[in-house]
């Protein structure tokens, strides 16, 4: 299954939810995820299934000032 992550092609070995993807990638820090140009609420990560051709954008927030 092929998806795009921040514009780059990524191959996923098996079907997974966005929550599993976040765990798999060990994403840390403050971030939000847009899937196919729609922001996914963090409460929905565990049910949001990634599908072939999906495009996700991970945007990191920084806390400095």
Which positions lie near other proteins, rule CB under 8 A?
28-32, 34, 39, 41-43, 57, 59-65
Residue whose C-alpha is closest to residue 40's, from 24, 55, 25, 18: 18
User: 31 has which bridge partners?
Assistant: 60
Structure tokens at 36: 């196919």
Residue 23 CB, shortest distance to other proteins, in Å, is 14
Residue 59 CB, shortest distance to other proteins, in Å, is 5
* 33 touches 39 (CB < 8 A): yes
Specify the residue, 13 or 43, whose C-beta has the smaller distance to other proteins.
43
Specify the residue, 9 or 65, whose C-beta has the smaller distance to other proteins.
65
């Amino acid at each position: 299954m092929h998806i795009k992550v921040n514009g780059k092609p990524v191959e996923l070995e098996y079907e997974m939810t966005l929550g599993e993807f976040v765990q798999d990638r060990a994403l840390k820090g403050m971030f939000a995820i847009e899937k196919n140009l729609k922001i996914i609420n963090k409460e929905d990560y565990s049910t949001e299934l990634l599908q072939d051709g999906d495009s996700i954008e991970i945007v990191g927030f920084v806390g400095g000032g």
